Structure 1
Amino acid sequence: MIPEAVDQIMTHLIQENYLNEERFAKSFARGKFNIKKWGRNRIINELKFRQISRYNINSALSEINEQDYHTTLDELAKKRLAQISESNILKRRKKLADYLLYRGWESNLVYEKLRELI
């Protein structure tokens, strides 16, 4: 397409709120937390990868209820711990920590949860 047409189409989409970075970031954060059980770190990294502004990332993270966040971490950790069949306690801890850190949960919360469960 010619550049003028692209500019006109983009302007129309932005004015009609079809292209809205903040709405996308909020929806993305809610969806990844509720459905995939991702932690804040993973959500932040994915939004940065998509070049979402820092303001919109912070706005999106405010969509996650703090109580739900901790409840989800607790449920996820207990479920994963039940799946780990390792008999060595240190290896169990490492496997659970690696899993939770990979999913984007903050390290201080992960290690606190490890002390609580194992």
Structure 2
Amino acid sequence: MNNKTYTVSEAKKKLEYYCAYQERCHKEVTDKLKSLGMIAIAIDEIIYHLIKHNYLNEERFAKSFARGKFNHKHWGKIRIKRELKFRKISEYNIRTALKEISEEDYIKKIYLISEKKIEALQQKTKQEQQKKIFNYLQYRGWENHLIYEVINNLFD
């Protein structure tokens, strides 16, 4: 636990830097303020300040999160949606965020990561490769029908 106490204005400054460094969601900001020992009234005031001054924007966070996880972690839409829900992002913002990923890029990405995975599994049997690829893609939140389509196309 943090022993230092903060005034509301000190906490505002600290959280402005926290939000300016990287996009944050309300849940992360609230958790951070609680870890700083702030009370509920102060938390509400600080969050209001951050939203008013555009440090905190849930739609912007969701879009950035979806693009980042798709491009860098190669997550599918199921995983991205689950992680955004965990962060208490609204359904509207989740739908908006998923629109950031074009259908064309989505299909290209699943084939690209599947082909890379096949290369890494050359010494395995066809069945083992298919099972490993299925598990790999499913864990990363890709839709089952897409996974089956990719496996069928790559192994036929």
TM-score (norm. length: structure 2):
0.71
* 1:37 aligns to 2:74 (yes or no): yes
Structure 1: unaligned runs, 5 residues or longer? none
1:89 Cα offset (Å):
1.7
Change (3 A) 1:83 1:2: closer
Change (3 A) 1:2 1:78: closer
Number of equivalent positions: 118
SS in structure 2 at match of 1:97 = helix
1:7 Cα offset (Å):
2.9
Q: Which of 111, 123, 141 does residue 104 from structure 1 map onto?
A: 141
Structure with the greater relative contact order (CA < 8 A, sep ≥ 6): 1 or 2? Answer: 1
Partners of 2:149 and 2:44 lie apart in 1 by: 51
* 1:46 aligns to 2:83 (yes or no): yes
TM-score (norm. length: structure 1):
0.92
Q: Percent identity?
A: 53
Q: How does 1:1-118 map to 2 (within 5 A)?
A: 1=38, 3-118=40-155
Decide which structure has the larger Cα Rg and report it.
Answer: 2
1:88 Cα offset (Å):
2.3
